[in-house]
Structure 1
Amino acid sequence: MKKDTSHTIKRAQRFPVILISEGLLVGAVGGLIVLLYRVALTYAGIWLEKILSYVRGNPLRIAAWFAVLMLMAFIVGRLVKWEPMISGSGIPQVEGEVTGKLAQNWKKVLPAKFIGGFLCLFGGLSLGREGPSIQLGAMTGQGISRLLDRGKTEEKYLMTCGASAGLAAAFHAPLAGMMFALEEIHKGFSMSILISVMTASVTADYISSYIIGLDPVFQFRLDYVLPQSYYWMLILLGAILGVMGAFYNWAMLKAQDLYKKPKFLNETTRLMIAFAAAGVLGLLMPSVLGSGHELIVSLTNGEMVLGLVVLTFIVKFIFSAVSFGSGAPGGIFFPLLILGAMIGGIFAMTGVQFFGLDPVYINNFVLLAMAGYFTAIVRAPITGIILLFEMSGSVSQMLSLAIVSVTAYIIATLLKSEPIYESLLDRILKSHKKNQAGIKGSSQKVLSNFVIMNGSVLEEKMVQDITWPDNCLLVALERGGKELIPKGRTKLMAGDTLTTMTDERDAGYVHDKMEKLCYTSF
């Protein structure tokens, strides 16, 4: 079917209804795929633990296990070479495609990311399930869009729905899935996308909960709400998390650079280093392997002393950099939450020793630090706050979560630390030459929405006075819930939602130009 201008506009007018049913479909299929991935990783962790118990103390068995690790590294390396888009988290790749800067092939990404992510966690690499889950969900949305022969505008919405469903199913966090998809992936709000994303997220969470239960991911008790007399410690903790978050971003990017320097290292040999490190740590310090969920259990149950928490944090941090820097298919989302929990534990234990903090509040600081560390690294504070209260099942810490998250956000911003996923996307665009092979020559039209912010260059200007991006048509303007036809003398106001149309091949360029016009004052 030809997706010309009239077809695109007419279909967009029915989006509020169309996208609800399609969001339901994407949520159901994406939720099932991510649930299967989550179950597979659970078995990977169980099998890894049994293997390490079996080989420990026997040199011959240890040698055999290292041979298996090298074989897994070789297989994952071949998968990454076959489909480079599965490397790393997957979240930057989804962001890039939704904004029109990258092209992925769902038929290759789905199987390669699933198998590659499974093997990496089976090998013990310090990676998470959330990034791959979001990419698997988004690729499900893309696949359904193409099987149903939808246009590119609709495909972007369905990919956002899939990303939301992926996070919801991975973490039993439907609200966080919805907010992350809108705040980080789509980077915009409209009623059409909001309702469809909510539908997909809730559907995926329902399926996941029906099969594996309603228990939150982090099951530790918070017996007391933190008294306001301790709130000065929240500011200090937020500042520390802001600094540590900026350092984390620098370290992860530096690890990628170090892997790329030696000319003899390729996709496979880089992974062999990471898998070998996992093998060594599996014998010496198995607690740091995998995503690290058991570390939270040990920490919050009071089974770790301060010195052990510090050592575990340092080893886990370095191992996470070694794992992620290798280009292995896996996320940084869950491991960074574990590292944040370690920082919160160190901070609280130090507070008990030196500032008279009551030990019953240690778990409060563990939870608060996870949200603050996530915010400092990803720069998505709303998602961080919602995610942590959904994952912990506790809503009593909202004010404390907000204070720590906002402080960490401010400090990381003052340190000029770029959000990690934006930095990773920039690197992908450079290394893949903007990967326009799948986009060039396409004549499909793409609609995009942008909201004019207070103080932007568009505010109080007439349409005819603006230098609009090349190959971009302003087709609609929404103000106060009413749609206006933009004319040359129409004065733009803060809060207006602009709808633009462009060719698919120009979508990335137009997106960046329109964001600058709508969100900046120069």
Structure 2
Amino acid sequence: MDDKEQKFKTYRSLSNMHNFRLRLFAEGILTGILAGIVISFFRFALSEMEYLRGALYNRLWVSDWSINACWFAVLIAIAFILHKLNCIEPMAAGSGIPQVKGAILGLMKMRWLHILWVKLTAGIIGIGAGLSLGREGPSIQLGAVTAQGVSRLMGRTRMEERYLLTSGASAGLAAAFNAPLAGVIFALEELHRNFSIMVLLPSMAAAFTATIISRAIFGRATIFDIPYLQLLPISYYGIVILVALASGLAGVIFNWGLLNIGRFYSLPCFKRPVQKIAFALICAGILGYFLPEVLGGGNDLINHLAKAPVSLQLLLIFLAGKLIFTLISYGCGVPGGFFLPMLVIGALCGSICAQMLIMLGWIEPAYATNIMVVAMAALFASSVRAPITGTVLIMEMTASYQQLLSLAIAAMVAFVIAELCHSKPIYEELMQRMLHKKAPEPAVLEQRNVIELVICSGSSVSGKLIKDIPWPPNTLLVDVKRGESQLIPAGDTRLLSGDFIYILTATEHVEELTKMVEE
């Protein structure tokens, strides 16, 4: 589809907003069905690989040295396979969430079919081999590229494709965590950063449809099985704040580690990318014998912490092992995210805090699991800087709906701690580093797109006439939506906070325009 046809279709959609919304809703349902099937297959494959890995290490313990040596040879062979897959599709490497953010902003291009099969294959192999990576980041990217495939096959415009990318990402998280509300909130709060009905409708349709598909296959059980989660007394809310402070600082440390693990992999012994992957897999092989709990995503470790008491010394070993091995696994660059490992680290921090508080006599042992759940939400909010998502996500994953207030307080406090420490939102910073490392192609920057922005209260354009606003060059304001009314933009039209504006501009101006309407 050439630019002229893109513009014509975009203008036609904006001039008939009612039908456009309904079409997005229907496409969101289709995206949710397809994404739900893809992510459900991904979940099933990873669960089978995890079971096989556990059985394998049980056999290796009683086998002779030659069999064990063969397993390490297999791990090295897997490193070469993963390296080859990275070379085939570099955009499939890592979590995938920064790539989705970049694609929504129009700053990155994703080859949906290549990413789909490479991410599935490499994710199953790498996480199945024991790397401390989660399925959630990959699931978000898999959902997004599934949506992109729907858009391309149906010949949709770039503006419409961005809405579908957001809805696909929403479906990916919802199906991965069996958490539809969290999927919607994450897509709105972290990815699109826009709560317009144009984003909300397809995202909700996709998330709820994908969850139905997921529950039809895996059942209605929550990802985390945490029994005996009681309502936390209000008198304990001071403890919640203390735990949130500790978890917020842990989130800052976690982000620092992720952003600086490249320094470790820049050592002379890691001259080739395959050497990084081989090192991480060999570490996984060694840990499989002595500390298998830190392998893979780690949701079973959270379930174990909630059901059986663990000594403080063992908790500290688990925390150190999971944190260091997650950094090693993510830093090697293979497809896989740190979303679930981050929650596991939060749960371990919470369990350590609970043990210490019980020893001091500040809380009753019955509330230890509450502290663990609160710490998970706090660390997520500190790292990702998405407190609403963190609150809703943990609430849905643990079915602890009565904990809403304590989770929200913890997420808010941890958010403030991260701000005071000047820690940057992890996915935002990873995206910026990717863009800095490899500048967008000139053809991408020159591409003209229609973007939707919302005027924020107190921004530099709020209350100004259109003709008085210093728009970037070659930028055209094509539509203004105020409530249910549509305004034809004119020079003497005054923009108000809450207005949704649709701007035709080159991709290189998107970030500048976003700052104009937000700051």
1:24 aligned residue (16, 20, 29): 29
Q: Does 1:497 align with 2:496?
A: no
Q: Which residue of 2 aligns with 1:396?
A: 402
Shift of 1:21: 1.2
Q: Does 1:188 align with 2:191?
A: no
| Mapping of residues 160-179 of structure 1, within 5 Å | 160-179=166-185
- Between the aligned partners of 2:184 and 2:271, the Cα distance in structure 1 is 39
State the Cα deviation string for residues 109-145 of structure 1 (Å, max 9, x = none).
Answer: 1111101101111110000000000001100011111
Given that 1:246 and 1:415 are in contact with CA atoms closer than 8 Å, whether structure 2 keeps it comes out as: yes
Q: Does 1:473 align with 2:476?
A: yes
When residues 355 and 452 of structure 1 are mapped into structure 2, their CA distance, relative to the original with a 3 A threshold, is farther
When residues 262 and 156 of structure 1 are mapped into structure 2, their CA distance, relative to the original with a 3 A threshold, is farther
1:41 aligned residue (46, 55, 64): 46
Q: Which residue of 1 aligns with 2:358?
A: 352
Q: Which residue of 2 aligns with 1:5?
A: 7
Instruction: Report the AA paired with residue 29 of structure 1.
Output: L
Q: Which residue of 1 aligns with 2:304?
A: 298
When residues 10 and 206 of structure 1 are mapped into structure 2, their CA distance, relative to the original with a 3 A threshold, is same
- Between the aligned partners of 1:310 and 1:241, the Cα distance in structure 2 is 14
State the Cα deviation string for residues 234-271 of structure 1 (Å, max 9, x = none).
Answer: 11111112211111101011112321353853321110
State the Cα deviation string for residues 11-62 of structure 1 (Å, max 9, x = none).
Answer: 2433201111111111101110010001000011011111111112431121
Shift of 1:91: 0.3
State the Cα deviation string for residues 55-89 of structure 1 (Å, max 9, x = none).
Answer: 12431121111011111111001101111111110
Q: Which residue of 2 aligns with 1:274?
A: 280
Q: Does 1:53 align with 2:58?
A: yes
When residues 263 and 11 of structure 1 are mapped into structure 2, their CA distance, relative to the original with a 3 A threshold, is farther
- Between the aligned partners of 2:124 and 2:497, the Cα distance in structure 1 is 47
- Between the aligned partners of 1:378 and 1:88, the Cα distance in structure 2 is 16
Instruction: Report the AA paired with residue 385 of structure 2.
Output: R
Q: Which residue of 2 aligns with 1:335?
A: 341
Q: Which residue of 2 aligns with 1:247?
A: 253
SS at match of 1:477: strand
RMSD: 1.4
Q: Which residue of 1 aligns with 2:509?
A: 510
Instruction: Report the AA paired with residue 390 of structure 2.
Output: G
Given that 2:32 and 2:209 are in contact with CA atoms closer than 8 Å, whether structure 1 keeps it comes out as: yes
SS at match of 2:402: coil
Instruction: Report the AA paired with residue 291 of structure 2.
Output: M
2:121 aligned residue (115, 140, 143): 115
Structure 2 spans left out of the alignment, 5+ residues: none
- Between the aligned partners of 1:452 and 1:299, the Cα distance in structure 2 is 46
State the Cα deviation string for residues 330-357 of structure 1 (Å, max 9, x = none).
Answer: 0110000000000111111100001431
State the Cα deviation string for residues 318-337 of structure 1 (Å, max 9, x = none).
Answer: 00000001112101100000
Q: TM-score, normalised by structure 2?
A: 0.96
Shift of 1:441: 6.8
Given that 1:81 and 1:267 are in contact with CA atoms closer than 8 Å, whether structure 2 keeps it comes out as: no
Percent of aligned pairs sharing the same letter: 40
SS at match of 1:352: helix
Q: TM-score, normalised by structure 1?
A: 0.96
Shift of 1:303: 3.3
SS at match of 1:448: strand
Shift of 1:160: 1.0
Q: Which residue of 1 aligns with 2:461?
A: 458
- Between the aligned partners of 1:303 and 1:11, the Cα distance in structure 2 is 58
Instruction: Report the AA paired with residue 87 of structure 1.
Output: A
1:77 aligned residue (73, 83, 101): 83
Shift of 1:437: 6.7
Instruction: Report the AA paired with residue 417 of structure 2.
Output: I
Given that 2:9 and 2:157 are in contact with CA atoms closer than 8 Å, whether structure 1 keeps it comes out as: no
Given that 1:222 and 1:364 are in contact with CA atoms closer than 8 Å, whether structure 2 keeps it comes out as: no
- Between the aligned partners of 1:441 and 1:237, the Cα distance in structure 2 is 48
- Range with bigger deviation, 511-520 or 371-380: 511-520
Structure 1 spans left out of the alignment, 5+ residues: none
When residues 452 and 175 of structure 1 are mapped into structure 2, their CA distance, relative to the original with a 3 A threshold, is same
- Between the aligned partners of 2:280 and 2:442, the Cα distance in structure 1 is 31
- Between the aligned partners of 2:268 and 2:464, the Cα distance in structure 1 is 53
When residues 4 and 339 of structure 1 are mapped into structure 2, their CA distance, relative to the original with a 3 A threshold, is closer
- Between the aligned partners of 1:266 and 1:101, the Cα distance in structure 2 is 28
- Between the aligned partners of 1:252 and 1:480, the Cα distance in structure 2 is 42
Q: How many residues align?
A: 513
| Mapping of residues 186-225 of structure 1, within 5 Å | 186-225=192-231
- Between the aligned partners of 2:157 and 2:486, the Cα distance in structure 1 is 22
Given that 1:80 and 1:267 are in contact with CA atoms closer than 8 Å, whether structure 2 keeps it comes out as: no
SS at match of 2:401: coil
- Between the aligned partners of 1:259 and 1:151, the Cα distance in structure 2 is 41
- Between the aligned partners of 1:480 and 1:114, the Cα distance in structure 2 is 42
Instruction: Report the AA paired with residue 277 of structure 1.
Output: C
- Between the aligned partners of 2:433 and 2:67, the Cα distance in structure 1 is 40
- Between the aligned partners of 2:355 and 2:57, the Cα distance in structure 1 is 31
